[in-house]
Amino acid sequence: MTDWDTLNATIVACTRCPRLVAYRQQVAARKRAAFRDWDYWGKPVPNFGTPDAQLLIVGLAPAAHGGNRTGRVFTGDASGDFLFAALYHAGFCNQPTATHRDDGLTLYNVAITAAVHCAPPENKPTRDEQANCFPYLVQTYRLMPNLRGLLALGQLAFEACLRLARHEQLLPTDTKFEFRHGAIYDLAHSKFLAVSYHPSARNTYTKLLTMPMMIEVLNAIRARLQR
């Protein structure tokens, strides 16, 4: 078992947050009518991808009936449908759909994680819950020797990435970091932090985030990685 596998196993076994443990298990037991035949995952959702990737995408948390059902981040919900379609168009994966863990989806040069690995009620993890999960983000970062860039999806992920950059002494002193879709900030050691609105159903349905906007960010990231 590799260190990456060990980290993922540790994440899946985590019980640090009683509120999240109770919620994820409750959702898995009650299910949604449309998924009544599913055997819900109902545990923390591990990282997806391989540690040799140059890009790490950081999301908010698994959806109650998405990742918490399928066991793979951004898989089985509207946010994932949008994200993987964009990743496919930008050349970061082999197919535009993600429905379950064994659907054949392969990532190219990217890994995906979350600021919080358990589905939170109303998609709102507490500060303590975010702090409990933060060490997993640090370990994920440290296990990626080729990492060049971070892509934060949404405000909460952006804040987690800034904490990570501060923790790993990557923040330049002369840069003001603010959450702004499409921004790409230079970090120390030739790394960068890119920013996007979260591909939530609310953001995509209201056109706050469109597919061309998402693909433009991913293409800009690809250009950075190819330098």
**What does the pLDDT read at residue 56?**
98
In this model, does residue 173 exceed pLDDT 80? no
Residue 166: alpha-carbon gap to chain centroid:
19
Which range is least confidently modeled, 10-19, 50-59, 172-181? 172-181
In this model, does residue 69 exceed pLDDT 90? yes
Enter the tokens of residue 210.
């469109």
| Domain range summary for the chain, segments of one domain joined by + | 3-225
Which range is least confidently modeled, 29-33, 47-51, 172-176? 172-176
Residue type, 197: Y
Neighbours of 203 (CB within 10 A): 20
CATH topology (fold) of 3-225? Uracil-DNA Glycosylase, subunit E (3.40.470)
Contact between residue 46 and residue 6 where contact means Cβ atoms under 8 Å apart: no
Match 């693909």 to its residue by tokens: 215
Question: What secondary structure does DSSP assign to 101-158, as a single string?
Answer: TTS---BSSEEEEESSSSPPGGG---HHHHHHHHHHHHHHHHT-TT--EEEEESHHHH
Contact between residue 42 and residue 28 where contact means Cβ atoms under 8 Å apart: yes
**What does the pLDDT read at residue 1?**
80
C-alpha count within 13 angstroms, C-beta hemisphere, residue 147: 26
In this model, does residue 59 exceed pLDDT 80? yes
Whole-structure pTM value: 0.97
How far is 154 from 151, CA to CA, in rounded Å?
10
